[in-house]
Amino acid sequence: MLRWLTAGESHGPELIAVLEGLPAGVPVSLDEIRADLARRKLGYGRGSRMRFEQDELNISGGVVQGVSIGGPLAIRIGNTEWPKWTEVMSAEKTELSEKSRGRGAPLTRPRPGHADLTGMQKYGFAEARPVLERASARETAARVALGAVARAFLAELGITLVSHTVSIGDVEVPVGASLPRPTDVDALDADPLRCFDAPTSARMVAEVDDAKKTGDTIGGIVEVLAYGLPPGLGSYVHWDRRLDSRLAGALMGIQAIKGVEVGDGFETTRRRGSVAHDELHINEDGRIARDTGRAGGIEGGMTTGQVLRVRAGMKPIATVPHALPTVDTETGEETKAHHQRSDVSAVPAAGVVAEAMVALVLADAVTEKFGGDSVPETRRNLESYVAAIPERLATVIES
Ligand SMILES: Cc1cc2nc3c(=O)[nH]c(=O)nc-3n(C[C@H](O)[C@H](O)[C@H](O)COP(=O)(O)O)c2cc1C
Ligand SMILES: C=C(O[C@@H]1CC(C(=O)O)=C[C@@H](OP(=O)(O)O)[C@H]1O)C(=O)O
């Protein structure tokens, strides 16, 4: 079993992430984690903070000489915004100096669509600063760092992932467009929206520009694909062991994600049963095979050995520049919501975060099914499981 936790605030000194249960022998490269952190900052429409924030990465436990040693892995990511916030965000009670007073002014105009107002009610705060600091998607940097480690573990077992943007607003990649493979990641990252279809990407750029011009924000849908999964990760025997349930929970746990689809998802509900599923037949090698991937590689809460395909839908950024009406909780009067700066769209970044969450869930499901205290042991267990599937039941693992 893998467990992970994050801590830290958007303008605090750093984010902390801990991953427990990772076998020994996973190659962990700080440069690869840094590369993933950099990918999370990509995307046309992200705000100014992404240009100046350096994700200062450190590993303070669980890795020696570039390899995991089986103990909890501890990651620190310094916030370069911190020097401006040392007084306001100090862990110790601190008198605010003149220069910090503006920055520390109480936020009493909660932003609709954010955790601000309900967070104040729930935790008993008179202003929204302590709410937004932890609710902020800055925290997703910690998850992406953990996801990079989970991905390195999965790669040792021949399991690879990729994510891409499938829609921005109502501009969508055409049905039937080719799906990216993990080897396409550089091309995807070079695209302004991390979209695999060049003509659609150009239209997406125009869509973001249009939102920005009108002081607005825009959402969209991302898709994560995983290749090389053996059949049987997850289970049908209980709701919380279903892999689709675990993936949905992990993806819905990303800030601003409002919907998740597995495979053709909601589209499947509009089809008749005769054309909604993935039929079985015998391929030229005499193996059981499916020609379609409508179920997204999951049946009965378990991987089928096909490509895993899940989507997450992100709402438009809630800090709308054309500030939304709200109520000042200090004066009781109607006013406009607090706004400083924000992303116009963070959909491409959400794709990178979604990829990290899927990697963590898959790594957890792999450790659950195959166990092992070291990568060779996990690999041996996986290979002997696959080899033990009787020939008349064997299917193709799509990698
Ligand atoms: C990568 C990423 C970047 C985000 N950037 C912003 C931002 O700049 N401004 C903003 O208002 N919301 C941003 N959000 C979304 C908020 O964090 C989110 O809307 C807020 O937590 C409330 O959404 P919820 O109701 O789903 O929790 C971002 C989300 C993600 C995943
Ligand atoms: C800092 C990050 O995203 C932030 C997420 C975020 C929010 O409300 O979620 C609001 C913005 O923060 P700020 O108000 O400080 O500009 C984004 O920049 C990040 O992704 O690293």
> Mean pLDDT across the stretch 2-24?
98
Query: What single letter denotes the amino acid at residue 87?
Result: E
Please tell me if the CB atom of residue 70 comes closer than 6 angstroms to any atom of ligand 2. Answer: no
Please tell me if the CB atom of residue 137 comes closer than 6 angstroms to any atom of ligand 2. Answer: yes
Do residues 349 and 136 lie in contact, with contact meaning Cβ atoms separated by under 8 Å? no
> Mean pLDDT across the stretch 172-178?
94
pLDDT band at 49 (very low <50, low <70, confident <90, very high): confident
ipTM for the whole predicted complex goes beyond 0.95: yes
> Mean pLDDT across the stretch 187-192?
96
Residue 323 is predicted with a pLDDT of 85
pLDDT over threshold 90, residue 51: no
- Detail the residues annotated as belonging to a binding site for NADP(+): 40, 46
> Mean pLDDT across the stretch 67-93?
96
Instruction: From the CA of 53, give the closest atom in ligand 2.
Output: 21
Residue 338 is predicted with a pLDDT of 83
pLDDT over threshold 80, residue 340: no
Phi-psi region of 232 (alpha: psi -120 to 50; beta: other; left: phi over 0): left
Residue 230 is predicted with a pLDDT of 98
pLDDT over threshold 90, residue 47: no
| Ligand at shortest distance from the CA of 49 | 2
Residue 231 is predicted with a pLDDT of 98
Structure-token pair, residue 55: 């994700």
> Mean pLDDT across the stretch 214-235?
97
Instruction: From the CA of 258, give the closest atom in ligand 1.
Output: 26
Residue 58 is predicted with a pLDDT of 97
Task: Tell me the average pLDDT of the chain.
Answer: 96
pLDDT over threshold 90, residue 339: no
Structure-token pair, residue 234: 């997850």
> Mean pLDDT across the stretch 253-259?
98
Residue 236 is predicted with a pLDDT of 98
Please tell me if the CB atom of residue 49 comes closer than 6 angstroms to any atom of ligand 2. Answer: yes
Q: Whose CA is nearest to atom 22 of ligand 1?
A: 114
> Mean pLDDT across the stretch 312-323?
94
Q: What is the DSSP letter of 28?
A: -
The residue whose CB lies within 8 Å of the most ligand 1 atoms, and thus the one to mutate among 53, 81, 255, 315, is 255
